[in-house]
A and B are shown apart, each in its own frame.
Chain A
Amino acid sequence: MQDSNNILKEVTAGEYKYGFVSNIETETIHRGLDEETVRIISAKKNEPEWLLEFRLKAYRHWLTMEQPDWAHLNIPPIDYQDIIYYAAPKAKDKPKSLDEVDPELLKTFDKLGIPLEEQKVLSGMAVDAVMDSVSVKTTFKESLAEKGIIFCSFSEAVQHYPDLVQKYLGKVVNYRDNFFAALNSAVFSDGSFVYIPKGVRCPMELSTYFRINTANTGQFERTLIVADDDAYVSYLEGCTAPMRDDNQLHAAIVEIIANERAEVKYSTVQNWYPGDKNGKGGIYNFVTKRGLCKGDHSKISWTQVETGSAITWKYPSCILAGDNSVGEFYSVAVTNNYQQADTGTKMIHIGRNTRSTIVSKGISAGHSQNSYRGLVKISPQAEGARNHSQCDSLLLSQTCGAHTFPYTDIQNETAVIEHEATTSKISEEQLFYCQQRGISTEEAVGLIVNGYAREVMNKLPMEFAVEAQKLLNISLEGSVG
């Protein structure tokens, strides 16, 4: 027991692997938030009038709101006037080829292992890398364009496809939705835009990488994915941030729209800086992600591996409006040291015969607090709705906490809803069995944790699954893996 205690203590030894600062010239604006800030951001991005209006409406609404405090989180007060709301790599002439891209930037991406360079073509991914707030370079755009797929940075989309953006922006996450959504709608600086036309199956996995680089900047990116009738796309998102002592705010919005028979698969590996062993620093990750299954037989699937951030407040949700639409949510959330996570999903059943599945696996270690919070809502007209939720928590230390707060609102008698949750530590029998066969305690814990999370890991695309597995091991380094 002593042995395993020591090992579990070492859980805290896992240090952040992605902590480095790239010295790239960045252009920032003044600290603080007022109408002027919103106008400057909009002007810098050369935005049309309607978008500025949208931002200003959001900003004015944000002023009337208060930061929510219902989550099982201890959020130190955030001074919204002490944040730089816009930071971009300094605008030089647009690079025409990779050779012209700032070598420092390329190095950063090398460190991140982003397949931005030629050789990465082989891996078959199209990457839109967002550093701080501006999308730097999008690969593969041409080959996607042949199929009619639009995959570009949000600001580019605003310039080139204003009709599409205007049609879908804010349709799933209204700027009034919540405090952080309003904030994002006012000051979002960039993000990704994806449009898959009718009947097109996106031939490769689309991917973005978010990275917060400048100190004291919040990253407010906005992703909009539209899959038209019969379309399919799998989208990957990865996030890192360098080590910094100040907490950095990240309030993003992701909106997904799936039309008739369309399918969108959204996978995230979130690895923002979680703060050091004593809970100093780290990213506040307050994200609103929501998908709308607008058409009949449409499907949206969220898969997330959450290992980073000091505080996570995130509920990727599905609105199942179309008949026979399907929503899925698979999540592994790992918290260590003093991390806090309050994450889960909302499944809102509106159409007939809609189905949803929730699988959430929480792993807490150190002094961390890990909560699952989810809502399953069946509206009166949602005939024959079906939901199954499973939330398991694994506790790796005596000082951590694991909590489950599932909500269900049932307004239709034909619904069948199930929720199951368990909380336990690693079974001593399983550990003993492994040790008996000559596997060290450390390896055994790694095996068991990986086995525990497998159900979710299996849902990740191949490229991500490998990375996610590594991340899981790094997050619990010392004892696990």
Chain B
Amino acid sequence: MKTEQQYIDLFTQYEDLICKNSSPVMNAPRAEAFAAFERNGFPSLKSEDYKYTDVQKAFAPDYGLNLNRLYIPVNPYDVFRCDVPNLSTSLYFMVNDIFYDKALPKGHLPEGVYAGSLKVFTERYPQIAAQYYAHAALPDANDPIVPLNTMLAQDGFVLYVPKNIAVERTIQLVNIFRGDKDMMANRRILVIIEPGATARMLVCDHSIDDVKFLGTQVVEAFIGEGASFDYYDLEESNSSTMRFSSFFLKQAANTNVVVNGITLTNGLSCNNYYVSLDGENGEISLCGMSVLDKEQHLDTHTLIQHHVPHCKSNELFKYVLNDRAIGAFSGRIWVKEGADKTEAYQTNRNLCATRETRMYSKPQLEIYADDVKCSHGMTTGQLDENAMFYMRSRGIPPEEARMLLSVAFTSDVIEHIRIPALKDRLHNLVEKRFRGELAKCEGCRICK
């Protein structure tokens, strides 16, 4: 049987139930998405973009779905204590794909700002929501996850910041995978930053049970003219968690955006980033870093589209691979005819520590304008022997020296983060990750 069939059957059988537990705005694009999914299905290993990640295999097992939106007994505050020292955030939780509304932060947000359940938001403000929902991640997008997610997603998180409002406090969203049997979660995040507004968002992924989790996530971010937005994504799940995430970013004129994706622990992740620079003088810094060992697998695709002149994009991705880890990076910069004075830079650097690691890299440029400055660079190798020798000659043990050099290698991705406290915390986390100590955090269940 085809892998797609069980999802087609599921949707045909439970469409009413899915719709009942969602909102009209989210239900509107479902039919189109279903048609696209039926048409395209999952990509095979022969597909150029999914050569290194077996999507069909990931989706083949029978996962449970919480279509009835049953309450999952978990108190996130009990399980989550990994907060960032010296950084007070507005903290929100999602358990699988349900927004956790039992404990909401109070009084932190400026007036008019909405952070919370996507289902509630789309019911309360259908006009605003309908203008944005599924407008960047089109239901029939050329991405295998979007149609599936659009037809199954029932809830998610939304951040809405009205005109000229600056949200000082970082919005932190903690996603927790929780389940007693193999679970699938379809999560949706919508970010609307109106002209002149500013916001920062930190999203963390955690898994607290040892059953298999399969998450699909579609993030749509719309950044209005003159707005500024930071999005930090930290994956700290476990080896039985698979995540397929597609991030869509649309930037108007004079916007400044930082997107940073860090993968420390996971099973299999496939992160797709689609950035569309639609207004002049838009600036995007898209970074990513990952520390992979054992059987971890990370496949990153990026597409930055320069539609208009005078935009700037800067892309930096770094991988550190150990044991039998597999890393894949495929980046593409696309410059439209007439998008002159574009500056686009792309860098991918990788460290491989053992024979069994695999690194596949494909940095691409597709340029149809002539007055541009574009470049990409890619290196794969191991730690510099001279540097290692230098450290060892000063009495630093080889393990320690290797760790220090690896930390230094990844630190420039963390340097792109614009929240100092988070930067410190991540430096710390990465160091701990290299020491293999991440699983020994004090107290909380995630880091037991």
Query: B-contacting residues of A (Cβ < 8 Å)?
Result: 70, 72, 380, 393, 395-425
Contacts and interface: CB of A to CB of B under 8 A. Distances in A.
Given A398-B370, A410-B358, A413-B382, A420 B377 contact: yes
Nearest to A427: B373
B378 A419 contact: yes
Main DSSP-derived SS at the B contact region:
strand
B370 A425 contact: yes
Given A401-B366, A408-B361, A421 B377 contact: yes
Contacts of B340: 398
B375 interface: yes
A406 B370 CA distance: 21
Contact of A401 (B360, B368, B382): B368
B370 A422 contact: no
B167 interface: no
Interface stretch (B135-143, B258-266, B347-355): B347-355
Nearest to A411: B358
B365 A403 contact: yes
Contacts of B380: 408, 410, 415-417
Contacts of A421: 363, 365, 375-377
Given A404-B364, A406-B364, A425-B371, A413 B377 contact: no
| Size class of the contact patch on chain B | 35 or more
Interface in B368-420: 368-382
B40 to A, nearest CB: 18
A407 B49 CA distance: 12
Contact of A424 (B355, B361, B372): B372
Contacts of B362: 405-408
Interface in B138-152: none
Contact of A402 (B354, B365, B376): B365
9 contacts: A395-B369, A402-B367, A406-B378, A407-B362, A408-B360, A412-B352, A413-B382, A417-B379, A422-B375
Nearest to A420: B377
Nearest to B345: A422
A419 B352 CA distance: 16
Contacts of B185: none
B338 interface: yes
Contacts of A419: 361, 363, 376-379
Contacts of B365: 393, 402-404, 421, 423
Contacts of B377: 418-421
A415 B382 CA distance: 7
Contacts of A380: 355
Contacts of B360: 407-410
B367 A423 contact: yes
B352 A423 contact: no
Contacts of A395: 367, 369-370, 372
Contacts of B375: 420-423
B359 interface: yes
A416 B359 CA distance: 12
B337 interface: yes
A252 B372 CA distance: 36
B21 to A, nearest CB: 43
A72 B371 CA distance: 22
B180 interface: no
Most interface-central of B352, B372, B374, B380 (chain A CB within 10 A): B380
Contact of B352 (A398, A399, A401, A410): A410
B48 interface: yes
Given A403-B364, A410-B360, A416 B381 contact: yes
Contacts of A408: 359-362, 378, 380
